[in-house]
Homo-oligomer: A and B are copies of this chain.
Amino acid sequence: MRIPKLYVEGEEGEEKVVIEKDGKIIRFLDKGESYEGEGKVLGKVIYDDFPNYILMGEATRDMLIVYEVGGLKKIMYLKKGTKLLEVPAEGYKVYPIVDHGCRILEGHRLAALQSRKGDIRFVNTPVNGIVVFLREVPCKRENYVFYILPDEEIKFE
């Protein structure tokens, strides 16, 4: 699988994107191109750094995730302050079923978990939403965390 590109507000990076008018204009700058306007400038960072910009389930910066393949360019613009739901998937073996950009409906399977004995269980999503990012947590047991944007904002009481 190709790895998407992640651009983050306020970060420096060889590649930059400018967001103008609250996302109405998305402008990918050429390498070395300078920008003088009023828009937000997002710099390219390592894709796996995404979780660094999520604090208490909330995006701390504007972010843009870009995935290009063939004649398709997929862009996800995530605004600062957006609340995400983090769903962990942990097991002896973990097989993710959905990936970034995927719309999911409540009860859909996110990942299959295999126990050491070989039993299979599934991790389902508790909400309707979109998978924004799939984090692989390196450790002895394979771990993943699904970052999901729910269709309806989460309310913590």
* Inter-subunit contact A71/B78 (CB<8 Å): yes
A67 neighbours in B (Cβ, 8 Å): 103, 130
A128 neighbours in B (Cβ, 8 Å): 1
* Inter-subunit contact A72/B102 (CB<8 Å): no
Q: Which residues of A contact B (CB under 8 A)?
A: 1-2, 23-28, 30, 59, 67, 69-83, 97-103, 105, 108, 128-130, 132, 149-151, 153
* Inter-subunit contact A103/B72 (CB<8 Å): no
* Inter-subunit contact A76/B70 (CB<8 Å): no
18 pairs, A vs B, C-beta closer than 8 Å: A2-B151, A23-B73, A24-B27, A25-B27, A26-B26, A26-B27, A59-B71, A69-B149, A70-B83, A70-B153, A71-B78, A71-B79, A71-B149, A72-B77, A72-B79, A74-B130, A75-B77, A101-B130
* Inter-subunit contact B99/A103 (CB<8 Å): yes
A69 neighbours in B (Cβ, 8 Å): 129-130, 149, 151
- Residue among B25, B70, B98 making CB contact with A82, cutoff 8 Å: B70
In angstroms, Cα B67 to Cα A98, docked, is: 18
A130 neighbours in B (Cβ, 8 Å): 67, 69, 72, 74, 101
